[in-house]
Amino acid sequence: MTKPVVLIAEELSPATVEALGPDFEIRTCNGADRGALLSAVADADALLVRSATKVDAEALAAAHHLKVVARAGVGLDNVDVRAATQSGVMVVNAPTSNIVSAAELAVALMLAAARHLSPAHQALRHGEWKRSRYTGTELYEKTVGIVGLGRIGVLVAQRLSAFGMRVVAYDPYVQAGRAAQMGVRLVDLDTLLAEADFMSVHLPRTPETIGLIGAEQLARVKPSLVLVNAARGGIVDEVALYAALKEGRVAAAGLDVFATEPCTDSPLFELDNVVATPHLGASTDEAQEKAGLAVARSVRLALAGELVPDAVNVQGGVIAEDVRPGIPLTEKLGRIFTGLAGSVAESIDVEVRGEITDYDVKVLELAALKGVFADIVEEQVSYVNAPLLAAERGCAVRLVADPESPDHRNLITIRGTLADGSQVSVSGTLIGIGQKERLVEVNGFDVDIEPTEHLAFFRYEDRPGMVGTVGRILGDAGVNIAGMQVARDAKGGQALVALSVDSAIANESLAEIQEAIAAASVRAVDLT
């Protein structure tokens, strides 16, 4: 028998090839050379890349035998995951390979900014000995605010605690008790902004986090603040940060990421109180080797038809054909659940009802958790780390399977209890021959709406004119409504408007809607 072909399109660590072993035919090509890639991938069973190779629909169409694309790193910007899924190609990455390197770089940037290392180094290179000009600030006994207490945020907190710093953190998806176990005081963002002498950002880039640290927030910090962003560009508003640094309202900044990359021309680079690096978070020998070993292991599992924990689109392994279509729906339900909850749940039930319970539906529990945490942690969420993320946040998870489903052939519900005792639930099903996804329940209200990329949910007291008010505000904002469902628990009782819209709704419009209809709850969910 011929050996499966593994195509390595970029330079990887020698340990990667060794980890693949003798069971595969290893070929190489220059993934940046489009013609060479399209030719070489035609016979490949697996494709290993880093960041320079663009794996898009064209490349996938040229790969007639491809089963798995492996990205030796965390980011997947160069891989069209949706096209791969449609082609039945698994996509894997190495979600934890760089977390130590990223945490260490954040600390390095903090120290460099606090001690003015970059301008002092440049001055010395130009023959200037200016000790008094570059007097810095100690970290010892200062307060550091960690914005985002995921795995990298935790590593940064641990390392800065060793410097004798007081650590506070903002993360609405982490319970206070869990933070306290790590010696971290959990606070709201306003408190963090007021107390922090140093700040380090460790959040994913989502529509909710873009511009989270903007002009309004920077106006409330201490003028001695040293701010570090080694997570994702755009979370800190670069225009607002430049103004704050220029005007002395922020003391210094350390930046590894930018809103648009590559970034070689920014006003921030002109400032002596800015230390900037070109997205070096994962750029260590150790991180690259860990990434190579991780994807080599995933490729071996994928080509053997076994469970692949680091798969980002499909799980692999033996999953019943009747269960597979429910996986992407369940992941979406998880993301919608998080958008509705707005905070961490103390417990989550993943309820699966109907005919599919004749099969093993454990994968749907994993898909639900993957969705729940996809938009709230900095690291990549996979089937293997999603349960760990829940455990780390003190969230108890239970899978409930029941063959009885009175209203739908199959029904998947994610139901959770929040810290204040309130409950959040969202249900979905697949309908018709095409197995189209539908939301059929939100927080106890019956709905029937397609889970498109942009969704919104408004709960208010049932009375005339509210639907028209919502439509007018969205129309004025240029947001087109693709679908709308209105439900209520009783005439004159509580009502829910569920919307699918063609574009994201700005926070200003959401606030206007909330005020105009006196909404008890306003939630927007972005599934892009």
pLDDT in tens, 455-478: 999 999 999 999 999 999 999 999
Domain identity same for 112 and 193: yes
Is there a domain that residue 184 lies in?
A: yes
Same domain flag for 301 and 256: no
* ∠ CA 169-74-65, rounded to 5°: 155
Question: Is residue 491 domain-resident?
Answer: yes
pLDDT at 308: 82
Q: Which of 116, 151, 178, 232 is catalytic?
A: 232
Q: Do residues 90 and 213 share a domain? A: no
Mean pLDDT of 309-337: 81
Q: Could you tell me if 90 and 201 lie in one domain?
A: no
In angstroms, the CA 41 to CA 52 distance is 15
| Residue matched to tokens 């029941």 | 402
Q: Please indicate, yes or no, if residue 499 is contained in any of the structural domains.
A: yes
C-alpha to C-alpha distance for 505 and 484, rounded to whole angstroms: 15
- Which residue, 415, 443, 471, sits at the end of a domain? 443
SS (H, E, C) 277-340: CCCCCCCCHHHHHHHHHHHHHHHHHHHCCCECCCECCCCECCCCCCCCCHHHHHHHHHHHHHHH
CATH of the domain at 31: 3.40.50.720
In a domain, 263, yes or no: yes
Which residues form the domain of 76?
1-95+284-317
Q: Is residue 382 part of a domain?
A: yes
Residue 262 lies inside a defined structural domain of this protein? yes
Whole-number pLDDT of residue 161: 97
- Whole-angstrom Cα distance, residue 31 to residue 65? 18
Instruction: Tell me the pLDDT band of 519, cut-offs 50, 70 and 90.
Output: very high
**Same domain? 305 vs 325:** no
The verdict on 343 and 245 lying in the same domain is no
* Residue 118 DSSP SS3: helix
For residue 210, being part of any structural domain is answered with yes
Structure tokens given for 520: 């008890």
Q: What is the pTM of this model?
A: 0.75
Going by pLDDT thresholds of 50, 70 and 90, the confidence category of residue 314 is low
For residue 335, indicate whether it is catalytic: no
Strand-pair partners of 185:
168
Marked catalytic residue, from 128, 141, 247, 261: 261
Give the DSSP H/E element, type plus range, for residue 352. Answer: strand 345-354
Whether residue 526 sits in one domain with residue 383: no
* Whether residue 232 lies in the annotated active site: yes
pLDDT, tens only, 3-26: 999 999 999 988 898 999 899 999
Q: Can you tell me the distance from the alpha carbon of 311 to that of 95, in angstroms, rounded to the nearest whole number?
A: 10
State the CATH number of the domain containing residue 527: 3.30.70.260
Same domain, yes or no, for 122 and 220?
A: yes
CA dist 348 and 414 (Å) reads 7
Quote the number of domains for the chain.
4
For residues 302 and 368, membership in a common domain is answered with: no
In a domain, 23, yes or no: yes
Regarding whether 108 and 79 lie in a shared domain, the answer is no
Contact indicator for 145, 199 with CB cutoff of 8 Å: yes
* Residue 333 sits in the same domain as residue 357: yes
